[in-house]
Amino acid sequence: MEPIANSLDAVLEAVLSKRRRDPTQLLQILREVQEQVGYIPPPALTAIAAALKLPRARVEGVAGFYSFLHLQPVGKYRVLFSDNATDRLLGNLDLLGTMCQKLWVEQGKVSEDGLVSVDVTSCTGMCDQGPALLVNGRPITRLTHQRVNEICELIRSRRPLSLWPQEYFRVEDNIRRKDDLLNTVLEPGAALAAAMALGPEAWLGEVQKSSLRGRGGAGFTTGVKWEACRNAPGEERVIVCNADEGEPGTFKDRVLLTSYPDHVFEGMTLAAYATGARQGFLYLRGEYRYLLEPLEAALQRRREAGLLGQGIRGQAGFDFDIEIHLGAGAYVCGEETALIESLEGKRGTPRIRPPFPVIKGYLGRPTVVNNVETLAKTVLIALEGAERFAAVGTAQSTGTKLLSISGDCAFPGIYEYPFGVSIEQILEDCGATDVQAVQVGGASGTCLASYEFHRGIAYEDVPTAGSFMIFDTSRDLFEVARNFVHFFAHESCGFCTPCRVGTSLLQNFMDKLATGHGAKYDLADIEWINRLLKAASHCGLGLAAANPVVETLIKFRPAYERRLQSLDFAPAFDLDQSLAEARRMTGRDDADAHLSSVEAHR
Amino acid sequence: MIVSGRKLRVATTSLAGCFGCHMSFLDIDEHLLELVELVEFDRSPLTDIKHCGPCDIGIIEGGVCNAENVHVLREFRKHCKILIALGACAVTGGLPAQRNHLDVGQCLQEVYHTCIGVESLPGGQVPNDPELPLLLDKVHPIHEVVRVDYFIPGCPPSGEAIWKFLTDLIAGHTPRLSHPILRFD
Amino acid sequence: MSDTKKFLLDGKPVVFQDGQTILEAARQAGHYIPHLCWHPDFPAHGSCKLCIVKVGGRHVSSCAMPAKEGMEVESNTPEMNGERRALLQMLFVEGNHFCPSCEKSGNCQLQALAYDLEMLSAHFNHFYPNRPVDASHPDVLLDFNRCIFCELCVRASRDIDGKNIFALTDRGIHKHLVVNAESGRLADTDFAASDRAANICPVGVILHKRQGFARPIGERDYDAKPISVVAMEEVEK
């Protein structure tokens, strides 16, 4: 069909020239081509490779890495149900089943008429208003059976997304408790003015004095990071804002980027001022694609106000601008070196460290990678001073922390607390009763049982990037852990042996237990795999991948033991099911055509 | 594992294997004379005993490819204090497991119906006599079906490796195979 | 002169120069640390994790970790070797490694390391993935069933041959090699049997046609001596 080929060429040409045929833009090019064509056909890969002067295999390798990029047609409507543990609590799989049934489509397959595909995806960051889904990349929240039925009708009648009820796409902030950060009204440029009055060295000193630590979870001291970048050899420095908010159950960066974008961009500019960086990137997770236009508009406003670009606030030589890069469904890109690889248009594989990004980051340049919330916090330091900032929280964890609260509670949403706040206090405030466990810090975080609820949120006690998922006593924590293990297996980049194989082995063991074929031997193997993941993984993903299982095994062991069919050993696979195909072929159903999964008396 | 006052009782069998490992077992040559001083055989191709009784050591050659293999393997596990996987097929699935990427239904179709030179049964029927064990959809190493105590890899393991392993075991040492007698081919 | 820097490897002093990794320094001093993805002609890759050692109680990849004065490194210990054996077992179950029919048997580093670490079984449950072979090229066969993702072919083709014949795609357990052609066939590339990439695979993925089993059992790389000895003899050459 000639017109389609022509239109593919036209799309490619438009995207390639907009992206300056720059190989570092590869991921953005692939994403934009897909947005227009629906998927990335093989000839498009060949053409993109030629235009960027890259080997085709490398372009194919990048396209194959990101779960939102497709090398085969995926349907005019591509529906992805968010599949976090909190979506499960709200019945997402039931809704998915309904949709598949109504649309006559099998999960993970494209309908025969090429109209629609329905599948699950990792947490989309809408846990406070789930169950949620993405349709062609756009989030729909607060799903009910009625809403799913309506969506099926819209899909069947091939109604363009732009004509769907706008109410579906409404995303709430749900800010429930404001403290220092969320209460700050920022006049754009005001924080910069304060920092520039100090000068770069004194401003950096102020950040160090505040003891601000990274809000992405690891808790590295921000001032130290900035100083290392400032002092690293090299001409060009880079500030990256990590908005790849992929940890299941966290959505506070989404709210900051929605309602406090100037705080974030001003924070990035403050970092640039301290380090001398001229180039900035916001790495926005693909799930937040819908925020791209409003964020671009915010950047444009700041450029027009002289707060970005050449000679910021009239100071000659203070040049800094920010470009937004979108991810495409890869949790591992939240790891800073994987994120940098992705920014360079590559597969999101974590690098060997050292060297650390502050020495050699984006394109080998000294690079600061900070979390969205961390950067927003620097605005507070500029406006109110380090002393005032450090007066809040605990000695080792200064300031406040945003928590994304979801799961079994009356008031899910965003809560800002001074560090040190106890789990009990939080549970009371959000209206959670009869709580069995809280998963703090997401899938890679820690699972707290009720006897630990006196503990506090702080780097020195219970650290968290912000995810706070609540499970009441009616919930099955084995299933929660199994959901997280599936998440890690899906998100493993596959670079190192222990994580690539170990997360899949772990997933198989959890599935084996779930189907009632587990044995004590399997628990021993799970613990052994955990040890290997901890000992040998290349990055934090593998390191943490067995945490959900190991912690629930210790704290909620009955959830596992009641699933053990045999205390000793059970086969690795379902023996009777393994005979099903041969039974079908022979038409047999006699006693000898079946096998019990444990030894029967014969 | 010295048992005072009597010989150790050993059973052997081949599941989805070629009996090559049993042949290699016989390759221990003159050590056979030493061995029969130490052990006596229960169920084994060497004795033609049909079912395994209580044994000290069970030796399994071959992987698990059908329902009958599962029953035999379970019988051995039930009656043998120590179970040993002997050879590549028992340890990894081996040659029979090379069919694992194929659909077993299509295999049966081809073998009994569509393959050139085959006189197919009426209606393309796949033989369905209850006497015939049904095929599993994949061939598995034995440790995926029962608990296995020891593994002797090799295709086949050399007589030397088998002898070293058994004498270690009988003498009560932890059996150990290392270069150059540890081999996967 | 007391300016020679040393660290301790399993209690034995090892001299190193600045910039050397633990593995490089150990190797130069004649101590073998197991490895698969590391190669003397390439920068560290750090993916196979067979070279893990413990430094001050913490696990690190010795191929990537710079040696430091006074480090205490544990390598040839039952604990480290036990973990390495388990990593090998993971590599064995994720692919289809059927040694008896593999032309590389006896010359394969994965197999040789399994011998050296006395791996008697794969322990875990096999994945039995379906990975078709590519026999399209006149001189070279690709059997992806045995790939361990060391990326040595990717790196050699890119950095030495300047051809970029190979790359990795997909991720996690589904990660696999692809060939630089829209057809996906090796025959549709400019790959040659004389390429460095055609002669660097540590396992049996990239095989030269018409040369199978050229060396009889007994004369293969790791028949007479284990890999820990052979690898150190290569350093002396």
Angle between helix axes C109-116 and C227-236 (nearest 10 degrees) is 120
- The ipTM is 0.97
Q: What is the mean pLDDT of residues A37-43?
A: 95
Band of pLDDT at residue C2, cut at 50, 70 and 90: low
Chain B residue nearest residue C226, CA to CA: B179
Nearest by CB to residue C105, choosing from B91, B180, B185, is B185
Band of pLDDT at residue C172, cut at 50, 70 and 90: very high
A247 CB neighbour count, 10 Å cutoff: 28
Give how many domains chain A has, as a whole number.
5
Closest CA to A398 of A590, A223, A584, A159: A223
Amino acid at A264: V
CA distances A400 to A56, A379, A411, C155, Å, are 48, 13, 20, 46
Q: What is the mean pLDDT of residues A554-575?
A: 89
pLDDT in tens, C102-127: 999 999 999 999 999 999 999 999 99
- One domain, residues A257 and A242: yes
- One domain, residues A81 and A18: no
A32 CB neighbour count, 10 Å cutoff: 19
Give percent of chain A with pLDDT exceeding 90. Answer: 95
Q: Domain range spanning residue A358?
A: 176-390
Chain C residue nearest residue A67, CA to CA: C170
- One domain, residues A249 and A133: no
| Rounded CA Rg of chain B | 18
Q: Is the pLDDT of residue B15 over 90?
A: yes
Place of tokens 């900051």: A256
Smallest Cα distance from B108 to chain A, Å: 8
- Strands of C12-16's sheet in order across: C12-16, C5-9, C72-74, C52-55, C58-61
Smallest Cα distance from C40 to chain B, Å: 25
Judge whether A536 is closer than 8 Å to chain C, CB to CB. yes
**Taking CB atoms and an 8 Å limit, are B183 and C126 in contact across chains?**
no
C190: Cβ–Cβ under 8 A, 6 or more apart, which residues? C163, C165
Give percent of chain B with pLDDT exceeding 70. Answer: 98
**Positive or negative, the Cα torsion across B100, B104, B106, B108?**
positive
Place of tokens 């090229």: C137
Mutate to test the interface with B, among C115, C143, C203 (most CBs of B within 10 A): C115
The pairing of beta strand A413-418 with beta strand C176-179: unpaired
Q: What is the mean pLDDT of residues A68-85?
A: 96
**Positive or negative, the Cα torsion across C22, C28, C33, C34?**
positive
Q: Are A291 and A241 in contact (CB under 8 A)?
A: no
B94 contacts in chain C (CB < 8 Å) = 98, 100
d(CA C65, CA C68): 9
Q: Is the pLDDT of residue A42 over 60?
A: yes
Judge whether A72 is closer than 8 Å to chain C, CB to CB. no
pLDDT in tens, B121-141: 777 788 999 999 999 999 999
Q: What is the mean pLDDT of residues A186-190?
A: 97
Q: Report if residue A598 sits inside a domain.
A: no
DSSP string, C99-148: GGG-TTTTS-HHHHHHHHTT-----S---------B--SSSEEE-GGG--
A17: Cβ–Cβ under 8 A, 6 or more apart, which residues? none
CA distances A72 to A1, A37, A117, A344, A452, Å, are 18, 11, 12, 25, 48
Closest CA to C189 of C128, C137, C237: C137
- One domain, residues A181 and A239: yes
At residue A602, the pLDDT reads 40
Q: Report if residue A72 sits inside a domain.
A: no
- One domain, residues A252 and A383: yes
- One domain, residues A333 and A238: yes
Question: Mean pLDDT over all residues of chain A?
Answer: 96
Amino acid at C210: R
At residue B120, the pLDDT reads 78
At residue B48, the pLDDT reads 86
Amino acid at B25: F
Q: Report if residue A578 sits inside a domain.
A: no
d(CA A132, CA A581): 37
- One domain, residues A266 and A363: yes
Q: Residue A224 in 3-state DSSP?
A: helix
**Taking CB atoms and an 8 Å limit, are B135 and A590 in contact across chains?**
no
| Rounded CA Rg of chain A | 25
Select from A139, A172, A205 the last residue of a domain. Answer: A172
CATH topology of domain C5-76: Ubiquitin-like (UB roll) (3.10.20)
Q: Are A238 and A280 in contact (CB under 8 A)?
A: yes
Q: Is the pLDDT of residue B8 over 50?
A: yes
Q: Count of B–C CB contacts within 8 Å?
A: 80
pLDDT in tens, A320-358: 999 999 999 999 999 999 999 999 999 999 999 999 999
DSSP string, A300-347: HHHHHTTSSBSSGGG-TT--BEEEEEE--S-GGGGSHHHHHHHHTTS-
Q: Which range is least confidently modeled, A2-11, A387-396, A565-574, B116-125?
A: A2-11
The pairing of beta strand A413-418 with beta strand A400-407: antiparallel
Judge whether C101 is closer than 8 Å to chain B, CB to CB. yes
- Main-chain phi, psi angles of C104, to 5 degrees: -85, -10
At residue A564, the pLDDT reads 86
The pairing of beta strand B39-41 with beta strand B55-61: unpaired
Smallest Cα distance from A98 to chain C, Å: 29
Q: What is the mean pLDDT of residues A383-390?
A: 97
- One domain, residues A376 and A243: yes
Closest CA to A399 of A407, A409, A389, A408: A389
Chains adjacent to C (≥3 CB pairs closer than 8 angstroms):
A, B
pLDDT in tens, A144-176: 999 999 999 999 999 999 999 999 999 999 999
Q: Is the pLDDT of residue A391 over 80?
A: yes
d(CA C83, CA B174): 20
**Taking CB atoms and an 8 Å limit, are B126 and A586 in contact across chains?**
yes
- One domain, residues A495 and A454: no
Exposure class string for A403-423: b at 16+ Cβ within 10 A, else e: bbbbbbbeebbbbbbbbbbbb
What residues pair up with B57 in beta bridges, in sequence order? B10, B82
Give me B135's structure tokens: 């095929």
d(CA A472, CA A432): 8
pLDDT in tens, C180-210: 999 999 999 999 999 999 999 999 999 999 9
Q: What is the mean pLDDT of residues C211-230?
A: 95
The CA-CA-CA angle for residues A590, A591, A595, to 5°, reads 120
A55 contacts in chain C (CB < 8 Å) = 158, 164, 167, 180
At residue C56, the pLDDT reads 93
Give me B58's structure tokens: 């069970």
Question: Measured in Å, how far apart are chain B's first and last C-alpha atoms?
Answer: 29
Q: What is the mean pLDDT of residues A486-494?
A: 98
A42 contacts in chain C (CB < 8 Å) = 182
A337 CB burial (10 A radius; 0-12, 13-18, 19+): buried
d(CA C110, CA C96): 13
Band of pLDDT at residue A5, cut at 50, 70 and 90: low
d(CA A258, CA A428): 27
C224 contacts in chain B (CB < 8 Å) = 180
Q: Report if residue A15 sits inside a domain.
A: yes
- One domain, residues A381 and A285: yes
Mutate to test the interface with B, among C98, C104, C213 (most CBs of B within 10 A): C98
Q: Is the pLDDT of residue C142 over 60?
A: yes
- One domain, residues A44 and A113: no
Band of pLDDT at residue A587, cut at 50, 70 and 90: very high
Q: Report if residue A590 sits inside a domain.
A: no
Q: Are A592 and A602 in contact (CB under 8 A)?
A: no
Q: Are B17 and B62 in contact (CB under 8 A)?
A: yes
CA distances C123 to A455, A489, C92, C119, Å, are 40, 20, 9, 9
Tell which CATH architecture fits domain C98-226.
2-Layer Sandwich (3.30)
Q: Is the pLDDT of residue A566 over 80?
A: no
Mutate to test the interface with A, among C93, C147, C168, C171 (most CBs of A within 10 A): C171
Give the residue range(s) of CATH 3.10.20.740 domains in chain C: 5-76
- pTM for the model stands at 0.96
Domains contained in chain B, CATH given: 8-100+136-170 (3.40.50.700)
Smallest Cα distance from C197 to chain B, Å: 26
At residue B2, the pLDDT reads 57
Q: Are C66 and C20 in contact (CB under 8 A)?
A: yes
The CA-CA-CA angle for residues C66, C69, C72, to 5°, reads 85
pLDDT in tens, B46-58: 898 999 999 999 9
Give me A103's structure tokens: 């649309």
At residue B124, the pLDDT reads 75
List the CATH number of the domain containing A562.
Answer: 1.20.1440.230
A539 contacts in chain C (CB < 8 Å) = none
**Taking CB atoms and an 8 Å limit, are A330 and C52 in contact across chains?**
no
Q: Report if residue A571 sits inside a domain.
A: no
pLDDT in tens, B85-101: 999 999 999 999 999 99
Q: Report if residue A93 sits inside a domain.
A: yes
Judge whether C135 is closer than 8 Å to chain A, CB to CB. no
pLDDT in tens, C73-96: 999 999 999 999 999 999 999 999
- Main-chain phi, psi angles of C164, to 5 degrees: 55, 50
Select from A142, A172, A202 the last residue of a domain. Answer: A172
Band of pLDDT at residue B4, cut at 50, 70 and 90: low
At residue A600, the pLDDT reads 53
- Main-chain phi, psi angles of A138, to 5 degrees: -100, 135
At residue A2, the pLDDT reads 39
The CA-CA-CA angle for residues A336, A393, A273, to 5°, reads 45
d(CA B152, CA A286): 50
Angle between helix axes A26-37 and A2-18 (nearest 10 degrees) is 150
At residue A567, the pLDDT reads 73
Select from A449, A474, A499 the last residue of a domain. Answer: A474
At residue B3, the pLDDT reads 62
Q: Report if residue A595 sits inside a domain.
A: no
C186: Cβ–Cβ under 8 A, 6 or more apart, which residues? C134, C136, C137, C140, C142, C165, C179
pLDDT in tens, A422-476: 999 999 999 999 999 999 999 999 999 999 999 999 999 999 999 999 999 999 9
Mutate to test the interface with A, among C49, C93, C117 (most CBs of A within 10 A): C49
At residue A568, the pLDDT reads 85
A97 CB neighbour count, 10 Å cutoff: 14
List the CATH number of the domain containing A325.
Answer: 3.40.50.11540
What residues pair up with A393 in beta bridges, in sequence order? A398
Rounded to 10 degrees, the C-alpha dihedral A250/A252/A257/A259 comes to: 140
Rounded to 10 degrees, the C-alpha dihedral A276/A280/A282/A283 comes to: -100
What residues pair up with C177 in beta bridges, in sequence order? C168
